[in-house]
Structure 1
């Protein structure tokens, strides 16, 4: 039972960890002249997705 909970938490932590670093892309959007509105939208959406994933992880494991 403990190993199953640990596996779910570790796996979901990896998913959240992959989504969270996308917020550091905004300075590169300025440097490389990307569409700043699109990059900002993607950053905001990934932040919302990571909050939802964290909320789901907490409520499904406890």
Structure 2
């Protein structure tokens, strides 16, 4: 599922596995980005969700380089 398709369906939050599929990155790598603070997420109960705006940022700007 593409981000644009999801947005047209009214989706604003995505599971890490969905972000991994959209970005071509692994689910584990998405979780590492969340743990490092490089990808912002929210917790709803025990569920981790990533906003559509944050997914767009990841896909357009990439991942900040670590020194």
TM-score (norm 1): 0.25
As a proportion of its length, which structure holds more helix?
1
> Of the two, which has the highest radius of gyration?
1
Higher strand share: 2
Give the structure, 1 or 2, with the largest relative contact order (CA under 8 Å, sep 6 or more): 1
Q: TM-score, normalised by structure 2?
A: 0.24
